[in-house]
A and B are shown apart, each in its own frame.
Chain A
Amino acid sequence: MTQAARTYWRSLEELAETPEFVAFVERAAPRFRDLANAFDRRRFLQLMAASMALGGLSACGPEANIRQLVPYVEQPENIVPGRNSYYASALTEDGYATGVLVAHQMARPIKVEGNPDHPASLGAASAIMQASILQLYDPRRAQTIFGAGQIATWEGFVSALHDRRAGLLARKGDGLRILTGTVSSPSLVAQLAAVQQQFPAMRWHQWQALDRDNELEAGMRSFSQPVERIFDLSKADRIFGVGSDLISATPGWLAYARSFAAARRPSETGGTMSRAYAIESTPTLLGAKADHRLAMRPAEIVGSMQYMASLLGAGSQQGSQQDNPHAAWLKAAADDLAQHKGRALVHAGREQPVEVHVLADAINGALGAYGNTVRLIAPVNVNAGSMRQSISELAGDMAAGKVDTLLILGANPVYDAPADLNFATALRRVAFSVCLSLYEDETMLATTWRLPATHEYEVWSDARAVDGTVTIMQPQVRPLYGGHSAQQVLAVLLGGLATDDYQLVRSYWQKRAQQENRGDFEGFWHESVRVGVVANTAEAPLSLTPKGGIDAQLPSTASPQQGSLLALFRPDEGNRDGRYADNPWLLEMPRSFTRLTWDNAALVAPSTAERLGVGTHDLVEIQIGPTKLTAPVYVLPGQAADCVTLPLGWGRAAGGLGVGIGFDAYRVRTAADPWLAAITAITKTGEVYRLATTQGQDRVLGRDLIREGNLDQFNSAPHSIVEKTKAESLYPPYQYPGRAWAMAVDLNSCIGCQACVIACQAENNVPIVGKDQVLDGRAMHWLRIDRYYSGSPDAPDTAFEPMPCMQCENAPCEVVCPVHATVHDHEGLNLMVYNRCVGTRFCSNNCPYKVRRFNFYAYAHQNERPPESWNPEVTVRDRGVMEKCTYCIQRIRTAEIAADRDNRKLRDGEVVTACQQSCPTQAIVFGDRNDRNSAVVKRKAAPIDYVLLDELNTLPRTSYGALIRNPNPAIKAGES
């Protein structure tokens, strides 16, 4: 090698030619070893010339075949245009798995359904699960690895971590910390155990903002060991919810909601129905469905639970009647529960204090719930200590300089850790920090190494449902934007290079199958992956009884003075703790009660709002501790007086689409009590902040939209609940010799969870429109869930009413379209012919149900999503065209084609609409009205079946089952 005339260097290390650099090159890029110091002009030109020559050569094809196109002769197996293939996997939420089946069209995932074989789904898919497909494709996901502020490579990260490893090994892992959320993945747990073995001084911390500390701590106290409570609502005749998220968010809620609703359809259960009570500070779905509900301040809830416990002979008998204004109500409820021993249960939400959970455990014990309606199992989360304590210790150690290597895998503490921990400041003291995340979020931007994570649909992994059932998660698509999994990162920490996620998961299961004597591994693996459930992995029930009287030993919850304002921190329905804040479907999903989109708001009771002189859309300053929070007010009926709910998960500072939307309630959330804070003052700023809601009026205004009765009425005179108007038509009716599609929606089953809304959006390529357009009244959801209140604003009854297209027989939309763009078909559907629509919008005016949506702009084209993420079975609508619910006509046609191919009749239940499929409570039934044995005919035959606005004689095909409540006769009306 001749001496180069001039040496170019690419980094200071290279210039110095340090031994570290040479070693680095050797490790990271051995093939460049020789070039590192010898890349002179001559060599460069040689290489360039060679590559140009090769490039030129490769461009030369066989001369004879020039310009000849090559046909796609060998069609890949099982990839048929227009036909879905499904692959089982799971999606984790707060670490707990819910089984999914991902539908693929032409080998690309387009839709998520629940896995019917999975115990936490039973076929249902929540709104968040539905929206996960959009997250997978989100072009705003993190795509680039950064190391120390520079764009780096995975190899660079591997070598950096390996460098670090040597030092850590020497120190036995002192200074090494790993931070995760709830971990239910067996393979990841095994890896963590291996890490712990290599680095005995390493500490594994856990944090997620929606922690379940109170539940778990209460379990520890009541049962002296960590427990998870699994509920069996099919056996529960009486349900008592305390701020309960039993049918809205608690792990496994989809399955709970299913059995909850099944026990509340009197026309199917033979006239019986469970009875639900709810006491809560802020409305929950269980509260909305409850037959009796009381809004209470948190302190009153504790008092009421003590009183309930003393009435039922549980707990320490502290409760007394004197100081409880709701004593009569609680007495009646307690008596009712006592009469249903073994068939009753109490559930408290994760936000309730330990005391309430302990009391709930004690009451469940007194009611004989254990072994009947409540099953206790070992928790799925292995490291089931207090997360709050864990993150506090981590933050303390970081601040004290005891941490020099931190791996953050799937947590975002800079955004959501308690504000008083100053996590971001402490993180700056960590020399080597790694963040693995789906988005370039707040934490990622604060760490030295930023690793884009793979989406759960892109990687081999495994996870457990809340009951212990394991799913081996298979990737649905190769990583779209690069990315790595937590398993891969830990493999590197363990000294390997293994980037093959498949081998990581498979080798774990190979070992485990051997241990468990599962026999033929290939068969086991194949079957587990195919079904989406590893057989017999549910946790065995524990036989435990709660210790009594321990609630008295608990430090009493500080009860703020009457009249002082309290802030309640609650997860947002769509964003949860903020991890879904970048998902446009969830951002635009109207929240069940507030019907708000694109914003969170401080939720205030009507009486409190009046006292404070504020109203919806008023911007206020909320002083909590030293911090002031500026937030818009939303006056929410049913909210407890003087309680201001602050939904978490908004006001993101970094990430994707959600940045800067809403206000960040984490700023005032502390480790001491993450669910409650005292508000010093609320002051009006005088400014108005427009909140975009999708609901016009909160009440039915005298219309018969919600038919409602109670169980006694149902059993004695069901027809009186739905008096029908008979109208005549001048025109002869349509004839349907073949099929006639129809839908039945049971209002009693609908819990208002919005799963169907997002399922419809995903299936039918419904675009999002953005906040401004929602404000202008142009939201596009084909299916919406109307929420109506009745009764007093502070203690209203809530009704949810899903509104798809009614597919009227005498459709008012059809007659007014001047160009035949909306027409009746031979199976009774109101078709919408997009190509024929000129956009007069008369059909929308004429639709009494207001289910038609118009493309005022080219929304679909403005949506930021790759073309391959749209459902190819459904037309993407252009500007100026009307659209609406089609009863998922593409699914009808697919099923018809399948039936034709097999030369058989279409079976009942073969066509499942997207909303029906996702519904956790089976509120929606769809089928052929001409088939006398179909499920939809059975639903419609119920005496409480009715149609909306029947006086207009539109003869809708979508009918509703009336809302039936089962009130306790001992509780006077108006008391709840």
Chain B
Amino acid sequence: MAMSVSTGLPPDAPVIAPDLTMTSLSEQVSARVLSERAPLWWHIGFAVGFMLLTLLIVQMAWLFINGIGVWGVNIPVAWGLAISEYVWWIALASGGTIVSALFFLTRSPWRSATNRIAESMLLSAAPCAGLMPIMHLGRPGLFYWLFPYSTVMGVWPQVRSPLWWDFICLICYILMSVMYYYTGILPDLATVRDLAKSRSKQILYGILALGWRGSVRQWQNQRVVYAIMSAIMAPMVISVHSVVGLDFAGGLTPGWHDTQFPPYFFFGAVISGTALIMMLTIMVRWGYGLRDVLTEYHLNAMAKVMLVGSLLLAYAYVWEAFGPFYGSDVAEKTEFLRRMFGFTASAFWSEKILTVVIPQLLWLPSVRRNQPLLFLISTGIILGMWQERFVFVTSSLEHNYMPSYWGHFFPTFWDWAALAGTIGLFLTMFFLFLRFVPIVSLAEVREIVEEKRSK
């Protein structure tokens, strides 16, 4: 998986701007956290996010009062937008881990400046993902019955169910992600504490920094723990998303019942997660003026990851199409034909164009340096992945084994409100991260600055 960083850009293209020093770095990044007033664009972004979050709260209230019937789900399409969006959000979140943990292990230098964005994104997207399956339950108040705890009735969860694997994976993943994030950010919180002028901030960040003094022993422990956690997180993210794939592969439904879905879903996570990080990096780079820290080098590297992701996805698509026609199952074949040419045809084809065809532009170095274009391509990928999840989840259920019970899924207003609302939750959380934590890993970028200076 090791990425060579030397292709595409001139060999001497710098990871960070040449005139960046330790001090300027610390001040540039910490100033965003410590400034009295946030910039206007932050306020706008946060306001939009918060409004949508309010919609989510209204939606949840309406849903819990009236029941799941307010959504468009039915029999046969018992899983609708909530589950496709769950998969979508979890893929976006996983992308954060892939960038931060997987590329940490490969020691890719471009990861140092982007990992905080990636992880903040992960922590913002994971609750969105986690909310979806809970909202989608018929009796959401009882979701905790999936926990393996001893009850008076002696009933335990059913461990053969992929849903239970998924539940356990998701919980572990979210907990690990939070700890991983905190381990990484600890030295930076200390930096902010040290630079803070106001008493309240000194106390706040002082508590958060857990008494970090930057001693060699602390650094050594932190680096070791961080490396071990990375080594756990990297396979974990693969397993999390594979288990999401197993939710479907374990389902006896034409279009789902296929062993390829665990890697298929992971490929989707690679491309969509990276695309979201790309969008956020471009936004942070522009908004916070961090051009020295987040350079074209980073964008170029991420564009290449996206390109690889799209190729992997294309491969998965081919196999997905190959299966039904190679096999003898009429239902599989019919389902796939309907998916391609039936009710969901437009979504099916536009998703292929957005996630596979258009990203091929990234072969061109000039495209990889063109930020507006990168932003658009990334947006397209995320939209395309949403359609892909939607078609995948609903089309299979619509065209099940029983032709007499074929049906359609039409999302209702409240279905869309759940989508918009979780986007709101994501934006709100991410903008809070932007405001309250150093959005670039100071400690790790300092290493790069130091390496460069000592050359």
Measured CB to CB, the residues of A under 8 A from B are: 695-703, 705, 773, 776-778, 784, 786-788, 801, 803, 812, 815-820, 836-842, 844-850, 852-858, 879-882, 949, 951-952, 954
Contacts and interface: CB of A to CB of B under 8 A. Distances in A.
B167 interface: yes
Contact of A838 (B79, B142, B156, B330): B142
B329 A951 contact: yes
Interface in B224-267: 247, 250-253
Contacts of B330: 701-703
Given A788-B404, A839-B138, A819 B157 contact: yes
Q: How large, as a class, is the contact surface on chain B?
A: 35 or more
14 contacts: A696-B403, A697-B406, A703-B330, A801-B404, A818-B157, A818-B163, A820-B158, A838-B146, A841-B73, A847-B252, A848-B252, A856-B69, A856-B138, A880-B139
A758 to B, nearest CB: 19
Contacts of A701: 330, 334, 403
B159 to A, nearest CB: 9
B163 A842 contact: yes
Q: Which 3 A-B pairs have the closest CB atoms?
A: A839-B138, A880-B138, A696-B406
A836 B145 contact: yes
Contacts of B161: 815-818, 842
Nearest to B396: A845
Nearest to A822: B158
B407 interface: yes
B376 interface: no
B343 to A, nearest CB: 12
A881 B403 contact: no
Contacts of B77: 777
B162 interface: yes
B163 A853 contact: no
Given A819-B146, A838-B137, A697 B404 contact: yes
Given A815-B161, A844-B76, A882 B138 contact: yes
B79 A845 contact: yes
B25 to A, nearest CB: 48
Contacts of A854: 75, 78, 138
B206 interface: no
Given A700-B403, A703-B403, A778-B74, A879 B138 contact: yes
A818 B164 contact: yes
Contacts of A858: 67
A695 B404 contact: yes
Given A857-B69, A952-B252, A838 B145 contact: yes
A786 B403 CA distance: 9
B68 interface: yes
A792 B343 CA distance: 25
Given A880-B68, A951-B329, A838 B143 contact: yes
A812 B157 contact: no
Interface string B153-179: 001111011111001000000000000
B138 A848 contact: no
B325 interface: no
B378 interface: no
B134 to A, nearest CB: 10
A710 to B, nearest CB: 24
Interface in B376-406: 397, 400-406
Contacts of A699: 403
A446 to B, nearest CB: 40
B72 interface: yes
A841 B79 contact: yes
A849 B295 CA distance: 56
Chain A CB within 10 A, most for which of B73, B137, B158: B158
Contact of A852 (B68, B75, B162): B75
Nearest to B406: A696
Given A840-B136, A850-B400, A952-B252, 16 more contacts: A695-B404, A696-B403, A697-B404, A803-B404, A812-B252, A816-B163, A818-B146, A819-B155, A820-B158, A838-B138, A839-B138, A845-B253, A848-B402, A853-B75, A854-B78, A879-B139
Contacts of A837: 138-139
Contacts of B405: 695-696, 850
A769 B74 CA distance: 12
A839 B73 contact: no
B331 interface: yes
B200 interface: no
Contacts of A839: 68, 137-139
Contacts of B73: 841, 856
A852 B75 CA distance: 8
Contacts of B250: 815-816
Interface string B281-318: 00000000000000000000000000000000000000
A951 B331 CA distance: 11
Contacts of A847: 252
Contacts of A700: 403
Nearest to B409: A777
Contacts of B146: 818-819, 838
B163 A857 contact: no
A899 B73 CA distance: 44
B198 interface: no
A698 B138 CA distance: 31
A850 B78 CA distance: 11
Nearest to B72: A776
B153 to A, nearest CB: 9
Nearest to B248: A845
A951 B330 CA distance: 11
A535 B397 CA distance: 57
B150 interface: no
B252 A846 contact: yes
